[in-house]
Amino acid sequence: MKLVDFVGNTPLIPIEKLNPQNESVKIFAKAEFFNPSGSVKDRAAKAMVLDGLKSGKLTKDKILIDATSGNTGIAYSFLGALYGFRVCLVIPANVSGLRKNLMKSYGAQIIESDPLEGSDGAYFMVRDIVSKNPEKYFYPDQYNNPANWKAHYETTAEEIWKQTDGKITHFVTGGGTTGTFTGTSRRLRELKSDIHTILMQPDGPFHGIEGNKHLETTERPGIFDDSLVEKIVPVATETAYDIVHRLAREEGILAGISSGANVAAALEIAKTAPAGSLIVTILCDAGYRYLDEGVWGNFL
């Protein structure tokens, strides 16, 4: 087996001490930091890379290039080292040094985009670079590549279904590319038509919930299917930070900012969910990736 074969089959962890209705409503979080490069993005990156290799669009003489705010770039970098192709990543300049170093440690090249333009700025810069020299690059385009959502349709959703014995009633997660939400929700609805699929979203355009879009004010991912959104739960950055702290100190889970936001949304849903509900959300990555950022502030 190769290291890539260990992508997926991540555990479901119960959220108990933070759960306001722990006796009647269950909350579980899928711990995606157990993936080889440490995040949920291993799933989509693996699918897009294998699709590129199979189609012949990705060869060892081409450079994989894409826009990222961190986790997909780390996953691409890991896969580039494993399969022997070069990786170039365009990221906003204000992405933490720790995440940049994780990409560089696998041998990736980094190009920084205007931090004020966020992930959209990185996306448009990549498109410009590729347009000037298309033969040089393999551009998977994670925001518009159907292999992204299909990875979650084929793996994440099926794993959740089996791990909950089909008892899941609510699926809650945020969206950057929206691949996790779209693919997982689509398959879960096929398996259980009355399941509640809920999108966590930052509460405004200027936020600190890394890897998530405020969809009304940013470039809309081509793979996003808004027909799957039953409800949107807005989460403030400060709330996400608070849940990150509480997950560490009360549940023993060192999770990242988007994970804190996802759990915050799940906790909000749990407040009014009927008895017997089983809510599943996503722990996108581990908290160590953010120890050099403001999320921890004076908390340490």
Active-site option among 119, 258, 259, 277:
258
Q: Rounded distance, CA 51 to CA 61, Å?
A: 17
- Res 283: pLDDT: 98
Measure CA 236 to chain center.
18
- Res 135: pLDDT: 95
At 31, is the secondary structure helix, strand, or coil? strand
Instruction: Per residue of the chain (300 residues), give pLDDT as tens.
Output: 899 999 999 999 999 999 988 889 999 999 999 999 999 999 999 999 999 999 999 999 999 999 998 999 999 999 999 999 999 999 999 888 888 999 999 999 999 999 989 888 999 999 999 999 999 999 999 999 999 999 999 999 999 999 999 999 999 999 999 999 999 999 999 999 999 999 999 999 989 898 898 988 888 999 999 999 999 999 999 999 999 999 999 999 999 999 999 999 999 999 999 999 999 999 999 999 998 888 887 777
- Res 179: pLDDT: 98
- Res 95: pLDDT: 86
Tell me, yes or no, if 41 is annotated catalytic. yes
Whether the CB-CB separation of 39 and 32 falls below 8 Å is answered with yes
- Res 300: pLDDT: 73
Whether the CB-CB separation of 153 and 187 falls below 8 Å is answered with yes
Nearest Cα to Cα of residue 47 among 147, 138, 141? 147
Report how far apart, in Å, the C-alpha atoms of 104 and of each of 70, 101, 296 are.
12, 5, 24
Helix 237-246 / helix 257-272 crossing angle, nearest 10 deg: 90
Q: CB neighbours (10 Å) of residue 72? A: 29
Active-site option among 30, 37, 39, 41:
41
